[in-house]
């Protein structure tokens, strides 16, 4: 690998190709400048594509912005930024209209056979929502939105897409100090197929790398979800907020051969009920009434803990969803993809109970940003699951994430456009390390070290830093991650960088952040439950857990 690696210049760099990344790239390109989109697999391989439920947005005369805001604040358990919530909610309809103009096809009542309302959108309801406000495209909404965005982005001549390229670290032309915010000038990027590192430079860099579900043993996320954006930003000295709030989706299909398949919350919105067996051969019975007034439509944190509690109480491997009150015809129309996948697992939703378990799903924390996606570092922005805008608080309200991705990317592009001349003046200093160097690193013949550390991190994160936490478990996890971090740091210094090593390093960094934030929060709130502090502390309402790496001079 050459010491003097290739240097490419752009006006904007977007790292990530999910809905937030592609929407950011599209809006930035419309400003007439050059945009690079960096994605470590093919352009449509991302968390966004897997989203089943839909986009939460006020689209009905019987609904209001105030009600959507209130549902979000209640779900967020006293940690949302109300100003950010309202701004995002109120900008939703305009973002949806733009999507429809781009060609997005949302399900209408006519698509489901309701002739008298055939042109009205079929608005779903999910946990935590008191009104029907979920726009959906069948049960593959994410795939439909990703399709539309990929088509729009690839049609823009000033957007260059780098598939099978993975960002290693940010290029910092000035490091943050106690008195200065630091400046980001781009990113070091590994061309996975060629095995070479490229330095990409730009006045504005947007991190939209998605979530960090692969930090946990069981997750609904795809393999690319390693928390790379948050990890890179932390190593660069950016402020990170609320990483203790990891959302575990309550209902992942429980099957030995079909892994990570999510059973949408929209099923419960259509009346599906959670049930558990009290003994091995007993008929499963409803249980959510014991945990929350909204029963099976309670917010996700409540439902996930309830399922975890029932599984521990009964010793069973799963609980069940019962949607047998709907006909097979109706289920095939409303949930075609889920119906087919369940059939593949030997479950006919119209006649059989669906076995489900919780799994890591969404990170409510991330890179600390304002409503425009601006981080604590000049020239560095973040959007989507990589960012912490204040919308989700301590628990994300269902289907607010796609709304956030669409809206904040619009705000972000506008903010960058207004500040572009100022950002362009932040040229890298002559002493800044623009070129990547391998030093004395050599090729490794010990791939087993990477796979072993990867599995160990994911296992102890599930066991010690999962749905149910204690101080002892968290301290045990902290001790383990410190030892593994030392191994990874040495391995990273000694051997030439590969995609697997980059992802392992990022997973370890994100695990460290989740553990650190969890230990700092001495209460139980939203998604963070610590049995040693079982109640919320009123003094910690609206108090974020903010951490940053103190860099050497």
Task: Quote the distance between the C-alpha of residue 140 and its chain's center.
Answer: 17
CB atoms within 10 A of CB 421: 9
Q: Which two tokens stand for residue 175?
A: 């490091």
CB atoms within 10 A of CB 241: 24
d(CA 175, CA 67): 43
- At 438 the pLDDT is 59
- Which of 547, 509, 548 has its CA nearest to residue 209? 509
Structural domains of the chain, with CATH: 7-244+364-424 (3.50.50.60), 250-358 (3.90.700.10), 439-542 (1.20.58.100)
> Which one from 300, 469, 521, 525 is the annotated catalytic residue?
300
Task: Give yes or no for a contact between 313 and 305, defined as CB atoms under 8 angstroms apart.
Answer: no
d(CA 259, CA 357): 11
> Tokens 């928390």 identify what position?
227
If residue 9 lies in a helix (H) or strand (E), which one and from where to where? Answer: strand 7-9
Q: Where are the beta strands (DSSP E) in 74-195?
A: 134-135, 159-163, 165-174, 183-191
> Tokens 């006293």 identify what position?
78
- At 116 the pLDDT is 74
d(CA 423, CA 41): 30
Could you give phi then psi for residue 411, rounded to 5 degrees? -60, -45
d(CA 75, CA 399): 12
d(CA 125, CA 131): 6
pLDDT, tens digit (0-9, with 9 covering 90-100), for 61-104: 999 999 999 999 999 999 999 999 999 999 999 999 999 999 99
49 in catalytic set: no
Residues 6+ apart with CB under 8 A from 416: 12, 28, 31, 204, 381, 423
Coil, strand or helix: which one is 94? helix
- Which of 148, 138, 146, 142 has its CA nearest to residue 51? 142
- At 436 the pLDDT is 58
* pLDDT in single tens digits along all 553 residues of the chain: 344 578 999 999 999 999 999 999 999 999 999 999 999 998 877 667 777 779 999 999 999 999 999 999 999 999 999 999 999 999 999 999 999 999 999 999 998 888 777 779 999 988 889 999 999 998 888 889 999 999 999 999 999 999 999 999 999 988 898 888 999 999 999 999 999 999 999 999 999 999 999 999 889 888 889 999 999 999 999 999 999 999 998 999 999 888 889 898 889 989 999 999 987 778 999 999 999 999 999 888 889 999 988 988 888 889 999 999 999 999 999 999 999 999 999 999 999 999 999 999 999 999 999 999 999 999 999 999 999 999 999 999 989 999 999 999 999 999 999 999 999 986 655 445 555 555 555 555 566 778 889 999 999 999 999 999 999 999 999 999 999 999 888 877 777 788 998 999 999 999 999 999 999 999 999 999 999 999 999 999 999 999 999 876 5
């Amino acid at each position: 690998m050459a010491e003097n690696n290739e240097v490419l210049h752009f006006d904007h760099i977007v790292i990530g190709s999910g809905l937030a990344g592609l929407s950011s790239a599209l809006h930035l390109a419309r400003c007439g400048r050059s945009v690079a989109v960096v994605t470590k697999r093919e352009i449509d391989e991302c968390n966004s594509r897997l989203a089943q439920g839909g986009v939460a947005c006020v689209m009905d005369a019987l609904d209001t912005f105030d009600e959507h805001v209130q549902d979000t604040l209640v779900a967020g358990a006293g940690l949302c930024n109300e100003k950010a919530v309202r701004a995002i909610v109120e900008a939703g309809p305009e973002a949806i209209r733009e999507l429809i103009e781009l060609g997005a096809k949302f399900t209408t009542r006519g698509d489901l056979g309701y002739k008298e309302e055939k042109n009205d959108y079929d608005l779903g309801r999910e946990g935590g929502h008191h009104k029907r406000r979920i726009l959906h495209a069948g049960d593959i909404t994410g795939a439909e939105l990703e399709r539309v965005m990929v088509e729009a982005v690839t049609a823009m001549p000033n957007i260059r897409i780098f598939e099978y390229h993975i960002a290693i670290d940010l290029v910092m032309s000035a490091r943050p100090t106690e008195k200065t915010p630091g400046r980001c000038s781009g990113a070091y990027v590994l061309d996975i197929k060629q095995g070479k590192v490229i330095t990409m430079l730009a006045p504005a860099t947007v991190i939209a790398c998605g979530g960090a579900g692969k930090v946990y043993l069981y997750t609904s996320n795809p393999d690319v979800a390693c928390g790379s954006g948050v990890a890179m930003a932390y190593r660069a000295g950016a402020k990170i907020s609320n990483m203790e709030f990891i959302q575990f989706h309550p209902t992942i299909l429980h099957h030995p051969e079909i892994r990570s398949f999510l059973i949408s919350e929209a099923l419960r919105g259509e009346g599906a009920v959670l049930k558990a067996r009290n003994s091995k051969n007993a008929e499963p019975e409803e249980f959510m009434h014991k945990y929350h007034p909204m029963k099976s439509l309670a917010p996700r944190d409540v439902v996930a803990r309830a399922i975890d509690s029932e599984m521990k109480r009964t010793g069973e491997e799963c609980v069940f969803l019962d949607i047998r009150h709907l006909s097979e015809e109706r289920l095939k129309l409303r949930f075609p993809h889920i119906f087919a996948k369940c059939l593949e697992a030997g479950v006919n939703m119209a006649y059989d109970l669906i076995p489900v378990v919780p799994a890591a799903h969404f990170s409510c924390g991330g890179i600390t940003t304002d409503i425009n996606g601006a981080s604590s570092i000049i020239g560095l922005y973040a959007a989507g699951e990589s960012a912490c805008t204040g919308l989700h608080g301590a628990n994300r309200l269902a289907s607010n994430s796609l709304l956030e991705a669409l809206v904040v990317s619009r705000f972000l592009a506008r903010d960058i456009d207004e500040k572009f001349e100022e950002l362009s003046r932040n040229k890298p200093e002559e002493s800044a390390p623009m070129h990547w160097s391998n030093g004395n690193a050599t090729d490794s013949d010990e791939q087993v070290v990477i796979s072993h550390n990867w599995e160990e991190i994911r296992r102890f994160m599930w066991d010690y830093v999962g749905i149910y936490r204690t101080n002892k478990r968290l301290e045990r996890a902290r001790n383990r991650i410190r030892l593994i971090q030392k191994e990874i740091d040495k391995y990273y210094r000694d051997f030439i960088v590969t995609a697997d090593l980059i992802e392992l390093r990022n997973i370890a960094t994100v695990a460290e952040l989740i553990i650190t934030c969890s230990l700092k929060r001495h209460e139980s709130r939203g998604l963070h439950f610590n049995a040693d502090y079982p109640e919320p502390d009123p003094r910690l309402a609206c108090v974020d857990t903010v951490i940053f790496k103190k860099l050497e001079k």
